[in-house]
Structure 1
């Protein structure tokens, strides 16, 4: 990917956050002049500068290196989803239902095999999450509570709320969820 495309991605993320170059400069400690040159493609940012911009815009650094091809398909076919497997030993998996993680929301399918959980400990993320149980039932450990969710139930999980999913049943469970902003 060329610097021009990196600069275009930086500009797009800055505009999505409704920041001026001067406002982004104040957040990053990078001069407005350098930011302007980076966005025009006339200056090559260092990795440290990219990290500062990434942090200020609250987007993963790798988003600057993703080619935003305007012809990219908006359809995700069932057999071509991106998958995250937690281990090779079990079939616990997350499947990305959106074409990529660009944008302000991620949509995922979580497949929880019987007698498995999403993590050993409760965890949290900065995003707000809404989940819907598509198949089976699951226990959601949230804060100091355990909530049983059955097929057809849904729940909203507020940002930074510690939680984990556990399937204590004898059949597999599937949960679809959306998180904004993306956390994977």
Structure 2
């Protein structure tokens, strides 16, 4: 965490949410002094204890380390390097406008290397989702129906139906997708894709 002012960032996010140190400590299940010491940079929190505190706000780890964004309400454009990675290190899902204050949907740039799979256990969650395959191919199963989609092909379905994504090919698959309601609003913690 060197080079990043953890204390100042925590204090900034806490104040943005109108939380006192006491209230944040209570929500996170830690002592008031813990919050105070972290904010003064007198103690460096472990990732797990930092996550516990951030979950109480709630703020994702990626949002925390992404730093301050000026006037998020007025931001319309996002460069490739500004997308927030919420994947698991193998599958890559890069979320557009992760910190937008009133985001009503998730738009994700998805990358599936050969053999990547969302898992044998079918996914089911509230909402709808759709996407367009930009490169490669993806095997998509929705409610027992399996299709192999290629570049230019698209999908759209009720997310409550059991579904699974798998890249059976020997090349990378790239998809641009959207889902609503925004299952990635907390960053990383979502039922859209299982790690």
Short-chain TM bin: 0.5 to 0.7
- Any residues of structure 2 matched to 1:29-108 within 5 Å, and which? 47=27, 62=58, 71-72=71-72, 73-87=75-89, 91-100=90-99, 102=101, 103-108=103-108
1:128 deviates by 0.9
* Counterparts of 2:175 and 2:153, CA distance in 1: 10
**Are residues 70 and 151 of structure 1, via their aligned partners in 2, closer, same or farther at CA, if it must alter by over 3 Å?**
same
The question of whether the paired residues in 2 share the 8 Å contact of 1:101 and 1:182 is answered with no
1:156 deviates by 0.8
Calculate the TM-score normalised by the size of structure 2.
0.58
* Counterparts of 1:101 and 1:71, CA distance in 2: 10
Match of 1:155 in 2: 155
1:159 deviates by 3.2
> In the comparison of the two structures, how many residue pairs are matched?
137
* Counterparts of 2:100 and 2:180, CA distance in 1: 11
Match of 1:57 in 2: none
Matched, 1:6 2:17: yes
- Any residues of structure 2 matched to 1:142-181 within 5 Å, and which? 142-181=142-181
1:164 deviates by 1.1
* Counterparts of 2:69 and 2:113, CA distance in 1: 36
**Are residues 61 and 127 of structure 1, via their aligned partners in 2, closer, same or farther at CA, if it must alter by over 3 Å?**
farther
The question of whether the paired residues in 2 share the 8 Å contact of 1:130 and 1:178 is answered with yes
Structure 2: give runs of 5+ residues left out of the alignment.
1-11, 29-55, 185-195
**Are residues 149 and 2 of structure 1, via their aligned partners in 2, closer, same or farther at CA, if it must alter by over 3 Å?**
closer
Calculate the TM-score normalised by the size of structure 1.
0.61
Q: Provide the aligned C-alpha RMSD in A.
A: 3.2
1:70 deviates by 6.6
Deviations 1:4-50 (A, max 9, x none): 7436xxxxxxxxxxxxxxxxxxxxxxxxxxxxxx9xxxxx79749xx
